[in-house]
Chains A and B, each alone.
Chain A
């Protein structure tokens, strides 16, 4: 609780002036307290020669008693106090509505304690806008004709430099995986708290993205923020599936909160095959398409830590509908992903059993949908160097299998060698992904006995995982059977060491494949996974 200010000896006030937390914490308060002490002293200095020695001891004691009484009241009782008005100072560029909307919580306060709590919250929210260098909230007495009221003064200092840069690890709405990215930001150009940024990102799955966006915390008074990004994205899958994807468009985050995300994407997507080795199924999908989709994600993570969950659960569900355009020639499909994670503490050596299951399905819709294939970039692919424990992004990983290393395949184009009629070296096969994907894992983590490891969070784990992909489109669903799908599951086991390096989770593992199929890219080996 903020320390109450000292009352000025003359005149006494029913509504004391109170400083609350500032970004500099108590120091400023102490400075100001000192200043006020100094002011008091200065004020006292002038009449001091006259008053010194004339202030009765009893008056000083009375004031101290009043002060202690106020302290006790604040601690034990509700001190009724309402906010009459919120005054904003210091904003030369920032529009008043932005600060007023963040400070709207004051209107509902009825006690001093509530006002102090709300002050902290409002201070935090204004700081989170990233457009102010400092925020100071002061309570002042209200109009004399309205007893029991106070005025809140919000004094902001706008950022001196509108330009800033940063490098970090993010997961953005339009990206399919986590990325490392560098960003340049321009702040508050139009005074609406707008943040303009340009960024370049590189993801683990051969993703490169150039984007520019703007963030409005409260666009035109709306209660939710608005994010608009224009992006140019390039992803190289030549090695795995003989195609390159280039996508450019617009992404609008319509709703973004702790548990909910709603994003609209409009993009022009082009698939090409510069190698000219693609298999037939991939050749059929090369070309241009327009993606207009709405994607909703619900996520709740009650685990104690996403890097090393020991207790708790996490659930995520993502629904995407594409084809939201008056033009029927755009890409149309429905996509659903579900993730569930559960961590059970075992009580010994900080051990825990982590269980997880993920599933996903994609299917086209529209005229003749039964005969249409699902878009290649939107199918599910399993494999890669990320751990399924941290990520909640649908079925993506089976430990031990390389990127896009399992599932349906098709032979690539065979070239004749330069010499004669004999065929050239085997070009391999394209991984086509699946319309239905299910993965599951079990992971037992435990601390090492040595304290050195425990202090650094380094621990060991033993794990098992399984996963499978299946085609459903182009009438393949007629041949689908649960028994056949279950028998197509690949399984792997392993053990390793986990090194948490905030915000990453580094695993050094040994994998062993219990069950794999002919073209799967996975074999007993040591490997590293890196996830966040």
Chain B
């Protein structure tokens, strides 16, 4: 009989891909949120249940916070006192409206792009690459149908709906870009769940969607959003000195879930696609140009994380 585990959280997400610790746009903000909150956790991967709304979930002993309960994993982590980065801001009207904008317009935009737009191949890689071909194919077709039903898309209104969704996303990017400016975070100088959502959203668009993606083109128009996401990406991936770089996050050996620590194992090198090579070249340019800003940010992050740890201890 397995003993329940005391202490130590485990975040269960979908598989890593495109240089991200988890390529799922729903799982990535939760991962980033825990990183922002300096909450130690193990990462486990689930590749056999792509259509589950329970994933991502976090577990510790007999405690489990599923994503399809009580407003999501982040909301439950706040309510249960595990990690709460929004305590000072969640009552602000601006915070609430931005949260609503991100969880509706931007979430819808990602969903549309992934399943009905140019991100079809990305979706297949993220959700179905570890499942047998037949099952993956059927689930993909079912998911596309479900998304169409959700957005009430038909042949007659498909173009109009697409334009509507993209227009909302562009408006959201403009608002967020204006709010962010050149700050490190959206609100004051500390991360919140909004930052986790936005960083996850932008990183996913930049790294997982193809170059001809409408969302990608729209995001690239706001350079401050790009810098903001890249800055935090490096921090998130490099925050654990024992963790390997993002490109070494490994898919599990089979479709079954396996456990891994924050230091994923190296896998045998695989052939990189042209897209990935281009991403890596651009990443090198960004790192070179932003080196000074990163050093400054690290010093600022050090002081803000000290405040967060004190808050967690009080909880």
- Interface positions of B from 53 to 101, Cβ below 8 Å from A: 54, 59, 61-64, 66, 69, 80
B256 touches A280 (CB 8 A): no
Bound-complex Cα distance A325 to B1 (A): 34
Q: Which residue of A lies closest to B62 (CB)?
A: A414
Contact residues of B between 104 and 142, Cβ < 8 Å to A: 130-135, 138-139
The tally of residues in B whose CB lies under 8 Å from a CB in A reads 32
Q: How many residues of chain A have a CB within 8 Å of chain B?
A: 32
Residues in B with CB closer than 8 Å to A368 are 253-254
**Shortest distance from the beta carbon of B263 to any chain A beta carbon, whole Å:** 17
Knowing A276-B69, A367-B254 are in contact, say whether A288-B2 is a contact too (CB < 8 A).
no
Quick check: B253 and A367 within 8 Å, CB to CB?
Answer: yes
How far is A285 from B61 in the complex, measured between Cα atoms in Å? 17
Q: Is the contact region of chain B dominated by helix, strand, or loop, or is it mixed?
A: loop
- Whether the Cβ atoms of A409 and B254 lie closer than 8 Å is no
Q: How far is the CB of B146 from chain A (nearest CB, A)?
A: 16
Q: Mark A406-430, 1 if CB is under 8 A from B, else 0.
A: 0011111110100000000000000
Q: Which of B2, B54, B256 sits near A410, CB closer than 8 Å? A: B2
Cβ contact within 8 Å between B255 and A287? yes
Assess A408 versus B1: contact at CB under 8 Å? Given A288-B48, A413-B62, A413-B64. Answer: yes
| B132 CB contact (under 8 Å) in A281, A329, A412, A416 | A329
Q: Are A411 and B62 in contact (CB under 8 A)?
A: yes
Given A410-B2, A411-B4, are A288 and B135 neighbors across the interface (CB < 8 Å)?
yes
Contact across chains for A289 and B4 when beta carbons are under 8 A apart: no
Q: How far, in whole Å, are A330 and B136 apart by their CA atoms in the complex?
A: 12
Whose C-beta in chain A lies nearest to the C-beta of B133? A327
Interface residue B41 (Cβ < 8 Å from any Cβ of A): no
Q: Does B9 contact A (CB under 8 A)?
A: no
Interface set, chain A 258-316, CB cutoff 8 A to B: 268, 276, 279-281, 283-290
Q: Considering only CB atoms, which chain A residue lies closest to B79 in the complex?
A: A416
Q: Which residues of the other chain, B, contact A410 by a CB distance below 8 angstroms?
A: 1-2
- Judge whether A288 and B49 touch: CB under 8 Å: yes
- Residue A51 CB within 8 A of the other chain: no
B243 at the interface (CB under 8 A from A): no
* A373 at interface by CB-CB < 8 Å: yes
For B80, list chain A residues within 8 Å (CB).
416
Interface string of A208-220 (1 = CB under 8 A from B): 0000000000000
Q: B59–A280 contact, CB under 8 A?
A: yes
A371 at the interface (CB under 8 A from B): yes
A288 cross-chain contacts in B, Cβ below 8 A: 48-50, 131, 135, 139
B66 in contact with A287 (CB, 8 Å): no
Give residues 392-415 of A contacting B (CB, 8 Å): 408-414
CA distance A148 to B2 in the complex (A): 80
A276-B254 contact given A286-B52, A290-B134, CB 8 Å threshold = no
B63 touches A414 (CB 8 A): yes
- B231-273 vs A, CB cutoff 8 Å, 1 = contact: the mask equals 0000000000000000000000111111000000000000000
Whether the pair B132, A330 counts as a contact (CB closer than 8 A) is yes
What residue of chain B has the Cβ atom nearest to residue A288's Cβ?
A: B135
- Answer whether residue B46 sits at the interface, using C-beta atoms and an 8 A cutoff: yes
Q: How far is the CA of A411 from the CA of B255 in the complex (A)?
A: 25
Residues of B near A105 (CB, < 8 A) are none
Report the Cα distance A410→B134, complex, angstroms: 33
Nearest B residue (CB) for A410: B2
Closest A residue to B57 using CB positions: A283
- Residues on A with C-beta less than 8 A from B131 are 288, 290, 329
- B residues 126-179 near A (Cβ < 8 Å) are 130-135, 138-139
26 A-B Cβ contacts within 8 A? A268-B135, A279-B2, A283-B64, A284-B256, A284-B257, A285-B256, A287-B46, A287-B48, A287-B52, A288-B135, A289-B48, A290-B135, A327-B132, A329-B132, A330-B132, A367-B253, A368-B254, A371-B258, A373-B256, A408-B1, A411-B4, A412-B62, A414-B61, A414-B62, A414-B63, A519-B1
Given contacts A329-B130, A366-B254, A368-B253, could you give 5 more A-B pairs where the C-beta distance is less than 8 Å?
A276-B66, A287-B48, A329-B254, A372-B253, A372-B256
